[in-house]
A and B are shown apart, each in its own frame.
Chain A
């Protein structure tokens, strides 16, 4: 990844963070909640190469850590996003064709988001965070997966377009 892409990535993820905090958090989803930021990020790293995926993961995680309503220690999302970015870029990108179908993108977004949330939960628990009841955790995971799947026709094309917009001529 060229250093020239960093301001673009920071700008895009800051915008998504703002959308999540100022708008999406207001929507009372019927089951669980929806993290647009996380779903958008998974679709983003699906298109990245390994090196740039981990860098994007760290940047996106760092911005997610800035959330003032977050109960977890600062740096936890950076850690989780960096690991998930590596896993997605290493496994999904190499295992699938370069042209991913919309269904594949949606399913990877669902599994990627769920994996990130489970990792967040486990790492948080190791660091002494309270997890909540099993019912609550399952409801949140199921709700987030459901909305990530249902809303993928909206956020996935936006993520792909914004990703392409941040590419420099050399990357293209």
Chain B
């Protein structure tokens, strides 16, 4: 009797495994019903994600402050001076000001390049602990967003639109391991391919044996045919390390992204690049050093002398 039950369990198990493999095969063959199901689920989830975003946004900032404790020490010190009554209000205000700053920054960048953009708020991140890097924004096809459009933030490239619904879109972040973008080195115009590695550090592989990179080189997106998935000239990152190995055919290196992908509040989706390739107009300028003030002190003779 027990053996019969065990056999039935095995049969059920094998049937379900075969069903799973069948579903995988359907998806890999591009059956559209699978994509439609996920889009439908996204439409259902969007109101809940928006609600979750409004609840968790101040809390998220709190966690962000904890993780960046060293860097925000001065900010924390300033906050300590505020009285207890104002603290909760201050956290809310900071959230709004932070988003406004990000929005201003991203619109400045888009305006400089004459990109036609749609600003959007990040309402949630993709599934954590599933080895994928995605975010969901609160704008979709109703705002003109389509699949494979470039997404930018204050200081550069964020990712690309992966899927859309009427009121939301899923963005594949450039840190996702499957992310690839063609880049060129500002100045030399040497070309390479930048890949995501899971965190905020990326790898670059130059396309030709003569292509050179050095630490500090700024990388810009190379652009795609019809500006999708990538518009040209968007700052992507800065070379932080160059591998030097005799056996390599082309140069490789590591890159630090310009955008903090963990702290995204507002992003913009580029609908089109009105003025074409902005060239190197968007390369971040190094901050001008503050003028050094030198004070010469001439010793005055004391009255006793």
Residues of A with Cβ closer than 8 Å to B?
18, 20-30, 32-35, 38, 50-51, 54-55, 57-58, 61, 65-76, 78-79, 82-83, 86, 117, 120-121, 124, 127, 129-133, 135-137, 139-140, 143-144
Bound-state Cα–Cα, A88 to B34, Å: 29
Q: For chains A and B in complex, what number of residue pairs have CB atoms within 8 angstroms?
A: 190
Residue B262 lies at the interface, judged by CB distance under 8 Å to chain A: yes
Residue B134 lies at the interface, judged by CB distance under 8 Å to chain A: yes
Residues in B with CB closer than 8 Å to A58 are: 16, 19-20
Bound-state Cα–Cα, A74 to B37, Å: 10
Do B21 and A21 have beta carbons less than 8 Å apart?
no
Given contacts A28-B67, A132-B197, contact A66 B41 (CB under 8 A): yes
Do B17 and A82 have beta carbons less than 8 Å apart?
yes
Bound-state Cα–Cα, A63 to B64, Å: 30
Given contacts A74-B24, A133-B199, contact A68 B12 (CB under 8 A): no
Residues in B with CB closer than 8 Å to A25 are: 52, 124-128
CB nearest neighbor in B for A59: B16
Which one of B34, B132, B170, B172 has the greatest number of beta carbons of chain A within 10 Å?
A: B132
Residue B59 lies at the interface, judged by CB distance under 8 Å to chain A: yes
27 A–B contacts, CB within 8 A, in A order: A20-B127, A22-B51, A22-B124, A23-B56, A25-B52, A28-B64, A30-B67, A35-B127, A35-B129, A54-B9, A54-B12, A58-B20, A69-B132, A70-B38, A71-B130, A71-B132, A74-B27, A75-B23, A76-B20, A76-B24, A82-B13, A127-B28, A129-B177, A129-B178, A132-B197, A136-B198, A143-B129
The B117-144 residues at the A interface (CB cut-off 8 A) are 124-132, 134, 136
Which one of A29, A68, A70 has the greatest number of beta carbons of chain B within 10 Å?
A: A68
Stretch at the interface among B42-50, B239-247, B269-277: B42-50
Do B27 and A22 have beta carbons less than 8 Å apart?
no
Residue B212 lies at the interface, judged by CB distance under 8 Å to chain A: no
Do A71 and B172 have beta carbons less than 8 Å apart?
yes
Say whether chain B's binding surface is mostly helix, strand, loop, or mixed.
Answer: helix
Do B8 and A51 have beta carbons less than 8 Å apart?
yes
